[in-house]
Structures are given as structure tokens and as C-alpha cells.
Amino acid sequence: MQRPLPWFWIGLLLLILVVPTPAGRLLLDLVGGLTLTLLGLPLLLGTAGFLTWQIRQRRLRTCPACGFRAIGLEQCPACGSPFDPSSGLGGGAPAGAPGVDASTVTIDVEVIQDSD
């Protein structure tokens, strides 16, 4: 059994849309506003999220000892060493031990072979 199409309501809707009445104009405005909201809201939320992420990243501080990154703490939660106050902006690569420039350090590796 097939349900008959609601021709009456379809005709009424077309009449409202086609004939320039205040009701038709209101309906068109409503549909336009809804479409604009649906299209604009994700864009707005995405922009807000991106800006929030950028601001948060600038506040991240990098631990000079272990490279752990955290926000709003005076001490590193991973190793306990105090954060460098100047490392709040930019961050950069984590250094090795405090006070040691990693680019001037030579690391000697000794190979130890186990004899059975």
C-alpha cells in the first residue's frame, strides 16, 4: 500500500514561496539564516580553535633539562628542574644538561663486546 503524496501541503508551500506574501518572505529569511549559520558556524569555530591553539603554544615552556613542555608551571613536572623564564616564547630544541651547549660537546661511545 502506497501512501499518497501530500499534494495539499506541497501546493501550499509552493504558493507561500512563489506568491510574495509576508509569510513567504519570512520562510525564505528563515531558510537563508539557517543556511548561513550552518555554513558559517564551522568556519567561526575553526578560526577560534586555531587562535586558541596558537596562544596556548606561545605559553608553552620547554624544560631546559629534559625537553618536557608545560603551561603555567614554575618547575618541570617530569624532572623537577626550574623552567627557564625566557623559554616561554618560541621554545626551541631542548638542550642537554643545564649550562652545556650541545653543539660543542663531543660524545665518545665505547663499544664493549661480550665474549662468551
Shortest CB 66 distance to Zn ion, Å: 3
Residue 79 binds to Zn ion (criterion: CB under 5 A): yes
Rounded distance between C-alpha atoms, residue 10 and residue 15, angstroms: 9
- For Zn ion (CB under 5 A), the number of binding residues is 7
Q: Which of 61, 62, 76, 95 binds Zn ion (CB under 5 A)?
A: 76
Site string for Zn ion, 55-74 (x = CB under 5 A): --------x-xx-x------
C-beta of 24 vs 88, nearer to Zn ion: 88
C-beta of 33 vs 80, nearer to Zn ion: 80
Structural contact between residues 68 and 76, judged by C-beta atoms closer than 8 angstroms: yes
DSSP string, 46-113: HHHHHHHHHHHHHH-EE-TTT--EESS-SB-TTT-PBPPGGGGSS--SPPSSTT--GGG--------P
Shortest CB 82 distance to Zn ion, Å: 9
Shortest CB 96 distance to Zn ion, Å: 12
C-beta of 71 vs 79, nearer to Zn ion: 79
Structural contact between residues 92 and 67, judged by C-beta atoms closer than 8 angstroms: no
Rounded distance between C-alpha atoms, residue 15 and residue 11, angstroms: 6
Site residues (CB under 5 A) for Zn ion? Answer: 63, 65-66, 68, 76, 78-79
